[in-house]
Structure 1
Amino acid sequence: MPTASPDTIRVLGAREHNLRNISIEIPKNKITVFTGVSGSGKSSIVFDTIALESQRQLYATFPAFLLNFLPRYERPHAEAIENLTAPVIIDQKAVGGGPRSTVGTMTDIYALIRALFARFGTPSGGLVHEYSFNTPQGMCTECDGLGMTVAADPDKLVDKSKSLNEGAILLPGYNAGGGSWQMYGSSGRFDPDKKLRDYTDAEWHELLHGSGGKVELAFDKGTWKANYEGLADKFTRSQLKRDTSALSEKTRRQIQKFLTEGVCPACHGARLNPKALATKINGRNIAEWTALQITDLVEVLGQVTDPAAQALADTTRVALGRVADIGLGYLSLDRATSTLSGGEGQRLKMIKHLGSTLVGMTYIFDEPSVGLHPRDVGRLNRMLEALRDKGNTVLVVEHDPDVIQIADHIVDVGPRAGAHGGDVVFTGSFAELRDADTLTGQGLRRTFRVKQQFRTATGELTIADADAHNLKNVTVTIPTGILTAITGVAGSGKSSLIRDEFMARYPESVFVDQSAIAASSRSTPATYLGLMDPIRKLFAKATGEPAGLFSFNSDGACQECEGRGVIITEIAYMDPVTTHCESCDGRRFSDKVLALTLRGRSIADVLEMAAEDAVEFFPKKALNAKLRTMNEVGLNYLSLGQAMSTLSGGERQRIKLATQLQNTGSVYVLDEPTTGLHMSDVDTLLALMDGLVERGNTVVVIEHNLDVVAHADWVIDLGPDGGKDGGEIVFTGTPSALLAHPGSLTGEYLRRYRNGGATVPA
């Protein structure tokens, strides 16, 4: 490749993950969209090569002291990466921030509102921190500023139909006669044969909250006298009032079963103390302001007439307007960030940068259209164009044709996924891509059809009087035995209807959502799907060796790299360096283990197999069934031993779906399963859902993707808009009937898509 122009970012010989020594030039101060099937290598170019090297070089300019507090990145596998600029990476990772993080704190808008109340509220405390639920001066003392209280639930701690001798205490470790049980059963305060439902109020209080006196506990090695403590108080002290961060997920789930969570009785969820809540502006306190829908709060700020407060009020309105402009005006500032979807979180991350006056930056987005109704994609596009027009480079990994359409330059990666991808198969304009012989080009050219023949429902599941969040006491029935799509703009009430209301009424349904996969750094598809134990047993049976030997986490691991396949060298103040393990040639196992085979294949050979090959190699029914699920969800190209950390977002979503396909539930609920999927991958997903229905299951899918909506047998559309303007059933019926519905935004964009193949004008 000739010398790169300073007006382009140059990548030479990139080999990260499945990239095949690719070289490309990306124009600066333009919007470049990277397309291709899930797992083709898009993210390997954009995030694991360009973004990572940009961050690594930027951090290298910081003093050594600061480097101790920053993540360290290894240099990407590439010959050269040139002409980089400072990166701003806006991905789909969970917003996090803990229970104290809200939309207001994340966007820094709450700080502006606190300043308004401190300076212009009546009566005013005068200090900004007196209106913060994260400081002792402002927080509610009952809930410590969380707005919620968590307490032991007596009805969950015990079974009132039993006596102590019959095992009335349900907490683990309190079996009758045991040490913990003796605190109550041997205390002499209760008749151990008396049913708890027959306890007097005094006995009930003594059991749960009593204190004082000693109880002699008998153990194998002698006796010990302990201070008596009521069951609920002891559980609260030992399990709730402690640092639970070190507890395992399993232990946390066990504890959760005995708790009840409710709105704080002191502050009623406002998080603040009475002094902070006493301050008002135009008749409302700060909690009432933050509980308003953002579009309504903009109007409230417009009613601030004090000339001294005008500048601060206007600044706050502008900040709120940015949130509304990006399609999140239905949120409230007191909304906990932990409840946001991946798409909502990513769009909120953008807010901070929209008001920035920095130029010459590289903004990097990971599928920013995730979770967006087609109506809102136009808003997203305008924001991306505004960033470019200010003098920035914008790199976007995307599948949505409407976002691809606004690109100044497109890089299509493929031709397929995994080992069959990793090449740049096209560069050019949108018009040129439509004519290209790639999977993306074919997808852009294909004819959009709305289903005309529909399956007949076998029954119905009723959701009556649903009022969660913004739902307006709606009643609707979901047909059984067919494919139903739940549609509507963001914030219309789709998740409230299905996640909160439907799942509460039909908890036996199989629910596949977008929550992150909890997996260790050594997790692979084989371990995640539960394949490794049966595979190790087969090797043990064939070789006569213990099954544990065939794990790279135990004695069978290569001693040089400890089963990683690579050796990571870390030196203070320097980037980590990962090198290929020469001892095992990157195969993770010791020579002894690699010499042991099953039908001519070592355990390392098996882990290197693609799922499509493993199906043929393992005919055993149980193993074969699990492997087939990988193929059914379109992950046939993945190797069994590939690190889960290297999977793309779409791949992780589908492998999670694969685990659920092993269940026998008759109702499947899928939450935006097209997240991260290429147009050709959507066809695979549709075939999968059809297969589930044809086997007698009911499939309910929450979706924005119009191909999925058009393929459904039945549609339930919520709206008409988001937040307080949503929460109603706008339409129920077939997709073809939805086309003719005048009041549905989904119907409007379905018509646009049918007529032109794109919903946003070029």
Structure 2
Amino acid sequence: QRMHTSVRSTLATYTGIYSLLRLLFSRAGKPFVGYSDTFSFNLPQGMCPRCQGLGYVDDIDESKLIDPDKSLNQGAITFVSFGPNTWRWKRYANSGLFDNDKPVRDYTPDEYDTLMNAPRHRLTDAPAAWPKSALYEGVIPRIRRSIIGKKEAAHHLEALAAIVTRRPCPACGGTRLRPGALTSRINQLNIADVSRMDLVHARDFLDSVTEPLVAEVVRQLHTKVQSLIDIGLGYLTLDRITSTLSGGETQRIKIAKFLTSELVDLVYILDEPSVGLHPHDIALINKALRKLKARGNTVLIVEHNPEVIAMADHVIEIGPGAGSAGGTVTFTGSYGELMASDTLTARMLHQPLRYRAPRPATGSLALRHVGLHNLHDVSVDVPLGVETVISGVAGAGKSSLIEALREQLHGDYVDLRQSAITVNIRSTPATYLEVLDVIRKLFAAANHVATSWFSYNGRGACPRCKGKGVTITNMAFMDPVVQECEQCHGQRYNDRALGYLYRGKNIAEVLTMAISDALEFFAPVPEVHAKLDNVARVGLGYLTLGQSMTTLSGG
């Protein structure tokens, strides 16, 4: 799974390296400026007060927020979600502070400043339309507080890009820290200088620290840094924000985290550690996994990659197919015995590679002087009208090159990223494929009732589990206990909803159908059949229509 990321999460903070660096500088840094917290950009004691420890500031171009020739009633505030009659607009129009029919151009300097820059405060003598508990806030601080850096920003990326300019914080120079923390140095370097280093140079810095007082801290730091270098990540800098790492990089960082463990006699379970990795990186992972095993641990790997399967002491193949066609052990034994068997895996491993003849491109897209993340002044022509593969070891800059490519695409394009489908317990293949609404209408028409009876988020929901199909009991200090609902037995619907039938089946029975079976059932309904057929074509016909998306694997 992808690691949880935020702008405050860096390679050093995620791996615990930064906590040890803070300890190192608080003990060995000269002059002494404070304890460990003084060097944390995520705590008030250490963060730069100007940028709040982010290292950058967002400047808002207010001329792009306001049409001065319009009044509030005419839509003078042009930023999305501030238009006339929206709830945000009402916080200005109902404040009693402005003439809502006066063009902004005619505001006095005080009126304009109140509209654009006033900090949050309670209004005195507010009109009746003003909510009693509401605070007034100018447009710019409001956008900063409630949109920029919040979840809502994802919905307004284009609008924000038009008004926001991001630059390194002028107070801390992008170091994220208070000035005091930066005066403390070890061998002429402060903690921000070390954070900007790649892991190989950081190891060299640690080798230069010889003070006996911090010998144990240096040893622990060296172990963590070396494990990341050993797994092929020496090029990453300590201050690299985790959200900019590729899937392969995050996978290896997690593995490296466990390689430094002194514990033995553990079982390590890895679910497809080779996903998205180059053969060179897979060789490094194989070496790391052998190290784990050599310490006296058991390593259990779920894999498809031939190079990882080949290093197994013991292989168990499950099959023969997927879904209801799988679930049985089809082989157990050594790798050599697997290759001599007639299982599906052995047949595929023996199959020779076939290459097709390339076809001519219909044009090309020029990328020039790209310098994003790991890329150094890269120029390349990407052919159009053909299938192009971008290869290279993890961290070489493949995803960064694609990011630069996206910026050159001005028409529509389909972007199938590695990021997971946003899921919750109510999300299913039927909802994600947008066929559930059609199915609900079929049931409603067949029974002459409202469609809401066939929604487990609406009138049709089981009263006990509220349509989840399970009851969740939260436990203090432990994972929650999830049990099948005793009333609906996981069907999600109430008795009345389950009494209505379409072609002899109730709504719960339809949603428990495998997609391969539902294809036949919905053959007369083209808008459902076509979408289900595509799912079957990519090998997912075994999924059920109502299966919770939280149960699906990454593949």
Normalising TM by the smaller chain, what interval?
A: 0.7 to 0.9
Q: Does 1:316 align with 2:227?
A: no
Task: Give the Cα separation in 1 of the matches to 2:209 and 2:39.
Answer: 19
What amino acid is the match of 1:592? R
Contact preservation (8 Å) 1:417, 1:637: yes
Unaligned 5+ segments in structure 1 are: 1-91, 651-762
Contact preservation (8 Å) 1:151, 1:236: no
Task: Give the Cα separation in 1 of the matches to 2:438 and 2:285.
Answer: 47
Pairing 1:134-533 to 2, within 5 Å after superposition:
134-150=42-58, 153-155=61-63, 157-159=65-67, 164-171=72-79, 172-175=81-84, 179-182=90-93, 187-188=98-99, 192-193=102-103, 205=113, 207-209=115-117, 230-236=138-144, 253-254=155-156, 257-258=159-160, 260=164, 261-304=166-209, 312-313=217-218, 315-451=220-356, 453-499=357-403, 501-506=404-409, 508-533=412-437
Unaligned 5+ segments in structure 2 are: none
Q: Please name the residue that 2:438 is paired with.
A: 534
Residue 428 of structure 1 and its aligned partner are, at CA, apart by: 0.9
Please give the secondary structure, in 1, of the residue aligned with 2:76: coil
Residue 437 of structure 1 and its aligned partner are, at CA, apart by: 2.5
Query: Which residue, out of 451, 454, 462, partners 1:547?
Result: 451
CA gap 1:521/1:262 in 2 versus in 1, 3 angstroms: farther
Please give the secondary structure, in 1, of the residue aligned with 2:389: strand
Task: Please report the TM-score for the alignment, with normalisation by the length of structure 2.
Answer: 0.86
What amino acid is the match of 2:508? A
Task: Give the Cα separation in 1 of the matches to 2:512 and 2:475.
Answer: 31
- Which piece of structure 1 moves more, 638-647 or 566-575? 566-575
Residue 122 of structure 1 and its aligned partner are, at CA, apart by: 3.2
Contact preservation (8 Å) 1:615, 1:624: yes
What amino acid is the match of 2:507? I
What amino acid is the match of 1:524? T
Contact preservation (8 Å) 1:543, 1:597: yes
Contact preservation (8 Å) 1:462, 1:476: yes
What amino acid is the match of 2:8? R
Task: Give the Cα separation in 2 of the matches to 1:104 and 1:525.
Answer: 38
Task: Give the Cα separation in 2 of the matches to 1:591 and 1:192.
Answer: 59
* RMSD (Å) for aligned C-alpha atoms: 3.6
Please give the secondary structure, in 1, of the residue aligned with 2:388: strand
Please give the secondary structure, in 1, of the residue aligned with 2:426: coil
Deviations 1:258-283 (A, max 9, x none): 47344322112211111111223333
Residue 380 of structure 1 and its aligned partner are, at CA, apart by: 0.8
Contact preservation (8 Å) 1:187, 1:215: no
Contact preservation (8 Å) 1:138, 1:273: yes
Contact preservation (8 Å) 1:102, 1:333: yes
Contact preservation (8 Å) 2:117, 2:139: yes
Contact preservation (8 Å) 2:147, 2:153: no
CA gap 1:402/1:571 in 2 versus in 1, 3 angstroms: closer
CA gap 1:636/1:140 in 2 versus in 1, 3 angstroms: same
CA gap 1:174/1:306 in 2 versus in 1, 3 angstroms: same
Please give the secondary structure, in 2, of the residue aligned with 1:328: coil
- Which piece of structure 1 moves more, 380-389 or 610-619? 610-619
Residue 433 of structure 1 and its aligned partner are, at CA, apart by: 1.5
CA gap 1:621/1:215 in 2 versus in 1, 3 angstroms: farther
Please give the secondary structure, in 2, of the residue aligned with 1:356: coil
Please give the secondary structure, in 2, of the residue aligned with 1:503: helix
Task: Give the Cα separation in 2 of the matches to 1:328 and 1:419.
Answer: 41
Please give the secondary structure, in 2, of the residue aligned with 1:475: strand
Q: Please name the residue that 1:66 is paired with.
A: none
Deviations 1:515-567 (A, max 9, x none): 22222212110011211111101111121111111122333234455444456
Contact preservation (8 Å) 1:186, 1:215: no
Greater length-normalized contact order (CA 8 Å, ≥ 6 residues apart): 1
CA gap 1:237/1:638 in 2 versus in 1, 3 angstroms: closer
Task: Give the Cα separation in 2 of the matches to 1:362 and 1:305.
Answer: 37
Query: Which residue, out of 22, 29, 44, partners 1:121?
Result: 29
Please give the secondary structure, in 2, of the residue aligned with 1:343: helix
Task: Give the Cα separation in 1 of the matches to 2:378 and 2:475.
Answer: 60
Task: Give the Cα separation in 1 of the matches to 2:138 and 2:51.
Answer: 22
- Which piece of structure 1 moves more, 311-320 or 333-342? 311-320
CA gap 1:614/1:436 in 2 versus in 1, 3 angstroms: same
Q: Please name the residue that 1:610 is paired with.
A: 514
Contact preservation (8 Å) 1:566, 1:581: yes
More strand, by proportion: 1
Task: Give the Cα separation in 2 of the matches to 1:240 and 1:549.
Answer: 40
Residue 447 of structure 1 and its aligned partner are, at CA, apart by: 0.6
CA gap 1:200/1:454 in 2 versus in 1, 3 angstroms: farther
Contact preservation (8 Å) 2:27, 2:213: no
Task: Give the Cα separation in 1 of the matches to 2:24 and 2:477.
Answer: 44
CA gap 1:339/1:160 in 2 versus in 1, 3 angstroms: farther
Task: Give the Cα separation in 2 of the matches to 1:566 and 1:176.
Answer: 41
What amino acid is the match of 1:535? I
Pairing 1:20-169 to 2, within 5 Å after superposition:
92=1, 94-96=2-4, 98-125=6-33, 127-150=35-58, 153-155=61-63, 157-159=65-67, 164-169=72-77
Pairing 1:523-602 to 2, within 5 Å after superposition:
523-559=427-463, 561-566=465-470, 584=488, 586-602=490-506
Task: Give the Cα separation in 1 of the matches to 2:479 and 2:413.
Answer: 47
What amino acid is the match of 2:41? F
Task: Give the Cα separation in 2 of the matches to 1:315 and 1:576.
Answer: 35
Task: Give the Cα separation in 1 of the matches to 2:222 and 2:492.
Answer: 57
Residue 395 of structure 1 and its aligned partner are, at CA, apart by: 0.9
Q: Please name the residue that 1:643 is paired with.
A: 548
Task: Give the Cα separation in 1 of the matches to 2:366 and 2:95.
Answer: 45
Task: Please report the TM-score for the alignment, with normalisation by the length of structure 1.
Answer: 0.64
Task: Give the Cα separation in 2 of the matches to 1:300 and 1:222.
Answer: 60
Residue 349 of structure 1 and its aligned partner are, at CA, apart by: 2.3
What amino acid is the match of 2:28? F
Task: Give the Cα separation in 1 of the matches to 2:185 and 2:196.
Answer: 14
Contact preservation (8 Å) 1:184, 1:207: no
Deviations 1:90-113 (A, max 9, x none): xx2x32264333211222222332
Contact preservation (8 Å) 1:179, 1:217: no
Q: Please name the residue that 1:61 is paired with.
A: none
Task: Give the Cα separation in 2 of the matches to 1:394 and 1:173.
Answer: 55
Residue 151 of structure 1 and its aligned partner are, at CA, apart by: 6.0
CA gap 1:584/1:462 in 2 versus in 1, 3 angstroms: same
Aligned residues: 546
Please give the secondary structure, in 2, of the residue aligned with 1:370: coil
Contact preservation (8 Å) 2:370, 2:376: yes
CA gap 1:111/1:314 in 2 versus in 1, 3 angstroms: same
Task: Give the Cα separation in 1 of the matches to 2:477 and 2:175.
Answer: 45
Residue 181 of structure 1 and its aligned partner are, at CA, apart by: 4.2
Aligned sequence identity (%): 45
Contact preservation (8 Å) 1:344, 1:371: no
